[in-house]
Amino acid sequence: MGAKSGRVETRPYYSEKSLSARFYDLTTAADTSLAGDIDLYAALAPAGGSVLELGSGTGRVSFALAARGIEVLGVDLAPAMLAQAEAKLRATRPDLAARLRFQRGDMASLNLGERFDAVIAPYFALGHLPCGAAWRNVFTGVARHLKPSGRAAFHLPSAEMLGQPLPATRGPALVRPLEGDRRLVVNITDRSSKPQIGRYDQIVEYVVEGPRGVEASSLDHMTFYAADPLPFAEAAGLLADGIAALGPNPVHLFRKPAD
């Protein structure tokens, strides 16, 4: 159920019929802060190795890793995102499809009965969960699903970036052309933060404009949590393995000890 914001109902991000889910691939393709992320994740698994992707969404990363010969299991909580990944899977070449699996699951309560060379949570996936018990459960699960010496990577938003106030006068965050002389306009309409608990919220408006005016619109509510994951990883028995950077945001790297 959405919440009322003024007269317009907001939807949770990535929910059924949410325009954030429908246009995820289009908006992400324009996101320069992700440049280089596929190379980073591919380097964590050996040739022909296996990766578990937490919060795999529409399969942006999973498909790219499979194209490099890696076996990928993608897990995501949102049916609307999984539906897009499954649709792409049905349309992809058989040799690539054979290396890809997607399933519904909560990264905070995974027990898949298999182990992987690497576990990754690209593009702020962990940041959707409150920092605390949920992160502790995620890292316990990561340790359980990694092979000895396996690697893990968590791309998180920086608190500095999330905490920036919206400028008083601003244009759209993104405008992308659509088929049939239409366009998608994305606006950030509200932003708030509670830095003491590492919580950052924003309302994102998606508008599809056609030649005769607005064809569809939605207000999607996104919540992110930003914190240092090291204490949670160490409590699960993982070792720090450095911090890479993607644009202004960190990718925290960990390693499971050898047996």
* Tokens found for residue 15: 């929910």
Question: Nearest distance from residue 184's CB to ligand SAM, in Å?
Answer: 17
Query: Which one of 57-65, 180-188, 205-213, 248-256 is the stretch in contact with ligand SAM (CB under 6 A)?
Result: 57-65
* Tokens found for residue 241: 């393995």
Q: How far apart are CA 152 and CA 143, in angstroms?
A: 9
For ligand SAM, give the closer residue by CB, 134 or 185: 134
The distance of Cα 160 from the centroid of its chain, to the nearest Å, equals 19
Question: Nearest distance from residue 103's CB to ligand SAM, in Å?
Answer: 10
Q: Which of 49, 52, 57, 233 binds ligand SAM (CB under 6 A)?
A: 57
Q: Which of 23, 63, 124, 225 binds ligand SAM (CB under 6 A)?
A: 124
Work out whether 14 is an interface residue with ligand SAM (CB under 6 A). Answer: yes
Work out whether 122 is an interface residue with ligand SAM (CB under 6 A). Answer: yes
Question: Nearest distance from residue 98's CB to ligand SAM, in Å?
Answer: 21
Q: Which of 51, 125, 156, 162 binds ligand SAM (CB under 6 A)?
A: 125
For ligand SAM, give the closer residue by CB, 33 or 189: 33
Q: Which of 11, 73, 76, 203 binds ligand SAM (CB under 6 A)?
A: 76
For ligand SAM, give the closer residue by CB, 41 or 254: 41
Question: Nearest distance from residue 251's CB to ligand SAM, in Å?
Answer: 11
Q: How far apart are CA 152 and CA 116, in angstroms?
A: 10
Beta bridge partners of 104: 76
Query: Which one of 91-99, 122-130, 184-192, 195-203 is the stretch in contact with ligand SAM (CB under 6 A)?
Result: 122-130
- Where would I find the beta strands (DSSP E) of the chain? 3-5, 8-12, 50-54, 71-76, 100-104, 116-121, 146-155, 174-178, 182-194, 199-210, 213-225, 239-246, 249-255
Q: How far apart are CA 36 and CA 145, in angstroms?
A: 25
| Total of residues contacting ligand SAM (CB under 6 A) | 22
Q: How far apart are CA 217 and CA 74, in angstroms?
A: 29
Q: How far apart are CA 84 and CA 240, in angstroms?
A: 34
Which residues are CB-neighbours of 131 under 8 A, at least 6 positions away? 197, 198, 225, 226, 227
Q: How far apart are CA 117 and CA 32, in angstroms?
A: 28
Of the candidates 66, 69, 74, the residue with the CA atom closest to the CA atom of residue 123: 74
Work out whether 145 is an interface residue with ligand SAM (CB under 6 A). Answer: no
The residues in 165-184 that bind ligand SAM, with binding defined as CB under 6 A, are: none
For ligand SAM, give the closer residue by CB, 61 or 238: 61
Query: Which residues sit at the interface with ligand SAM, rule CB under 6 A?
Result: 14, 28, 54-57, 60-61, 75-78, 81, 106-108, 122-125, 128-129
